[in-house]
Copies of this chain bind each other. A is one copy, B any other.
Amino acid sequence: MAQQHLDPTDPLAGRVTGDALADYLRAQATEFLRALRLHRETGGTAANGSGPQGPGSPGDPVDPARALRRAVRRISGSLHTFRPLLDADWSESMRPELAWLSGTLAMEHAYAARLERLLLALHRLSGAVFPAQPKGATVGAAQAGGSGPPSHPAAPDRGNLTVGAAKAGALLERQLTLARTRAHSTALQALGSSRFHAVADNIAVLASEVPLVPTGAATDLHPHATAAQERLTDAVTALPLVTAGHPYNAEALIHGLSPDPAPHPQDTPWHQVRLLLRLHRYAREVIQGTNAPVDVRLLTAGQALDRHRDASEAAAAAAQAARTPRIAPATAYALGVLHADQRHEVEAARFAFQQSWQKQTVGTP
């Protein structure tokens, strides 16, 4: 067991070997199976990934969909980072399946969260006053009930909105609720498919028996974790952090009216860093154990990148909605303001990442 707490900056810290990886994978597989059982018991009502606490409540014990996604991401990430320690055939066959599952399970939650973000922004832009209660507790855009497709989200009151903002809100609600309903069905279908059962069977095996290569159990994990960290720091180095550190650099909106309908290519390296940061974090978990204290700065940087991704996708959804045929000019105007607002959120998130990264001394895992 490597669940003891190691000082990551201590070069004399004990070797952590493939045994720890096996422990970690077993624990994550067990988590997956537990979440799957709970998910089936609750009839998949929470497949949107959010309980009453709203989306993103960390460690929510009543959210099996979220727990499923968490476990799948961790297994998938560990297979990637510690690939040479694991049976190659098994590993290569598992990875695309885990990616498919992770992607499929994430969509419904993503649409619900995106709608909530956009409706909250519309209210903020309309100068509407919100009760000072925790986010998600008042706005139930992601509160699904019953066992069918998600119920109509309880959208914020539109009384204070202008016609344009109200119409923009209604349009986004229609489009994103439709997308979310489809994602819900897709996720339910996926969870009932033979493809899923094959993955679940594989994970069930993993819960008791991790297919390490013969030398795997004794192999030092550090070089692999360090390589994951280096991939992260290399990618961060390539980011335009000097610009990002200058507030109001107006970079994020620079293609806001570009003819290119594709998502902003400038966002891609940031999304990439977000994924590499996650892999680094999981590698730390493998080595330090899941009970080790979280590196707050790593967490802050990760949250900034999550916000970056969310705002980027929300901005794209607003731009996409503005391409709906026959909308009123006032609706289009509100969507333009909303798009720009979310692109500024993108810029703000980059600034927040730069600030947190500056302070950061990433511990050697």
Contact = CB atoms under 8 A, between A and B. Distances in A.
Interface of A: 122, 124-127, 160-162, 164-165, 247-248, 250, 253-260, 322, 327-341, 344-345, 347-348, 351
Nearest to A164: B257
Given A247-B247, A344-B344, A162 B254 contact: no
Identify the 10 closest CB pairs spanning chains A and B, nearest first. Answer: A336-B336, A247-B247, A340-B340, A248-B348, A329-B332, A333-B336, A332-B333, A332-B332, A336-B337, A127-B255
A111 B332 CA distance: 26
B247 A248 contact: yes
Contacts of A160: 259
Contacts of A344: 248, 250, 253, 340, 344
B334 A337 contact: no
Of A165, A248, A257, A333, chain B has the most CB atoms within 10 Å of the CB of A257
A338 to B, nearest CB: 8
B125 A341 contact: no
14 contacts: A127-B258, A127-B260, A164-B257, A247-B348, A253-B337, A256-B341, A333-B333, A333-B335, A333-B336, A334-B336, A336-B338, A336-B340, A337-B340, A339-B340
A335 B336 CA distance: 7
B351 A248 contact: yes
A195 B361 CA distance: 70
Contacts of A351: 247-248
A330 to B, nearest CB: 7
A233 to B, nearest CB: 25
A125 B257 CA distance: 5
Contacts of A329: 322, 327-329, 331-332
B341 A332 contact: no
B347 A257 contact: no
B253 A341 contact: yes
A333 B344 CA distance: 16
B165 A127 contact: no
A274 B339 CA distance: 31
Contacts of A258: 125-127, 162
B341 A339 contact: no
Of A248, A250, A330, chain B has the most CB atoms within 10 Å of the CB of A248
A84 B348 CA distance: 50
A57 to B, nearest CB: 24
A165 B257 CA distance: 7
A314 B333 CA distance: 16
Nearest to A352: B248
A257 B161 contact: yes
A255 B255 CA distance: 24
A311 to B, nearest CB: 11
Nearest to A264: B127
A256 to B, nearest CB: 5
A2 B237 CA distance: 57
Contacts of A322: 329-330, 333
